[in-house]
Amino acid sequence: MSAPYYADDRVTLYHGDCREITEWLEADVLVTDPPYGYSHRSGGGPRGNASWKGTEIANDGDTGVRDWMLDSWGARPALVFGSWKRPRPEGVRAVLIWDKGGHAGMGDLSIPWKPNFEEVYVLGSGFKGARDSGVLSGYHVPANEAAGRVHPHEKPLSLMCHLIAKTTGAIADPCAGSGTGLVAAKQLGRTAIGVELEERYCEVIARRLSQGILDFGGIA
């Protein structure tokens, strides 16, 4: 068994590769944002001043991590972020669209549309709550580092709370990023198990979780 990087009465975080640290498989529902598989290389945002400018997402050369993770997870409920640029996972029951807002996305500048959305794949069963729109609008993140952004693939805390509220049981996030899913679970009074490969983001997650449930920022 691996030693946690951080733990409190709700959340346990491990530093390492989710294919080697497998405690997250003990949870009930998977809510995660894995590498999308198209070799993302960040431009650092509109001002080009972000600390991650020019960096790449680890294991993003293909969808291998995502597919291994879902194979290991089996038929249990899962909400997994992804991109239209790569094939969807097998067994997807529905696709939710996160509308990131008009400020987001550059994409192919030769066409008059921005790629300002991401997909969320719904797998398995056991979700709850009222039926509402599959287009998730009104959930925005800071545009750049100067506005408070700390991760190239951040997700809004409000969005993660909305998604997790549709589930039951302990949350697994084996690709925790900078921890929004774990913070959301804690705010909702849920337990969660996270794994993050990069130690600098483990530090961010630990700091956010140690602040309790007062963190209403939009960092992923």
3-state secondary structure of 30: strand
pLDDT bin (cut points 50, 70, 90) of residue 207 is very high
> 69-102, pLDDT tens digit by residue?
999 999 999 999 999 999 999 999 999 999 998 7
Residue 56 per-residue DSSP state: B
Whether residue 3 contacts residue 16, with contact meaning beta carbons closer than 8 Å, is answered with: no
Count H helices, E strands: the chain? Answer: 4, 9
Residue-wise burial string across 122-147, b where 16 or more C-beta atoms lie within 10 A, e elsewhere? bbbeeeeeeeeeeebeebbbbebbee
> 29-61, pLDDT tens digit by residue?
999 999 987 655 555 444 444 554 545 566 667
> 85-94, pLDDT tens digit by residue?
999 999 999 9
Q: Take residue 169 and report the two structure tokens written for it.
A: 């049981």
Residue-wise burial string across 172-199, b where 16 or more C-beta atoms lie within 10 A, e elsewhere? bbbbbbbbbbbbbbbbbebebbbbbbbe
Write out the DSSP string of 71-118: HHHTTS-EEEEE-TTSPPPTT--EEEEEE--TT-----TTSS----EE
**Nearest-angstrom CA–CA distance, 212 and 56:** 30
Identity of the amino acid at 198? E
Quick one: pLDDT at residue 46?
A: 44
